[in-house]
């Protein structure tokens, strides 16, 4: 796959700043966020009914985003971690194959499964943008030790609120 650049701490931004930067661009898009700290930070930064927080299903966020983008005219934005994408790499290939114009993906790559204890991923051995070059952006982020409050909304309420959002007339 060619030579990979080793990213040092100076090349990385804080995950919360990356999410803020992404959400500054969001208007009425449907946003799917991967399980763990990404969803927690998004919830604490900009909770809205058009956000779907994937809780307890690592590897599922992009698949949910693809399915949603296939069945709506609205723009769909997925924010996922490198671990989430690596757990279901075939969805990245599918995204590239389908080239859905209303689907965008941001991969926040910190090189670990931070939400489950910081186990290393193998994201340093793959170039996500070579696998998927359609509406996919990789942002290198720092591993953080900050405590992020859990989402204080039950899963069923998140689902109902989002369902109401995507079905409103």
Q: Fold for domain 9-166?
A: Rossmann fold (3.40.50)
Q: What confidence tier does 7 reach under pLDDT thresholds 50, 70, 90?
A: very low
Q: What is the pLDDT of residues 120-158, one digit of tens each?
A: 888 999 999 999 899 999 999 998 877 888 899 999 999
SS percent in the chain: helix, strand, coil, step 5? 40, 20, 40
Q: For tokens 């290939």, name the residue.
A: 93
Q: What is the pLDDT of residues 65-108, one digit of tens each?
A: 999 999 999 999 999 999 999 999 999 999 999 999 999 999 99
CA 146 centroid distance within chain? 19
Picking from 28, 38, 19, 56, the residue whose alpha carbon sits closest to that of residue 154 is: 56
Per-domain residue ranges of the chain:
9-166
Quick one: pLDDT at residue 117?
65
The answer to pTM > 0.85 is: yes
């Amino acid at each position: 796959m060619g030579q990979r650049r080793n990213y040092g701490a100076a090349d990385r931004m804080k995950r919360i700043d990356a999410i803020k930067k992404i959400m500054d661009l969001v208007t009425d898009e449907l946003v799917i966020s991967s399980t763990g700290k990404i969803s927690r930070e998004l919830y604490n930064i900009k909770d809205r009914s058009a956000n779907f927080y994937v809780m307890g299903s690592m590897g599922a966020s992009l698949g949910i985003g693809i399915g949603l983008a296939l069945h709506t005219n609205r723009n769909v934005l997925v924010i996922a971690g490198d671990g989430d994408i690596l757990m279901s790499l075939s969805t990245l290939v599918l995204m590239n194959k389908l080239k859905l114009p209303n689907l965008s993906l941001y991969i926040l790559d910190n090189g670990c499964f931070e939400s489950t204890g910081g186990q290393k991923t193998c994201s340093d051995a793959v170039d996500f943008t070579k696998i998927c070059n359609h509406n996919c952006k990789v942002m290198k982020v720092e591993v953080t030790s900050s405590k992020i409050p859990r989402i204080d909304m039950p899963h069923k309420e998140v689902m109902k609120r989002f369902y109401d959002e995507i079905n409103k007339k």
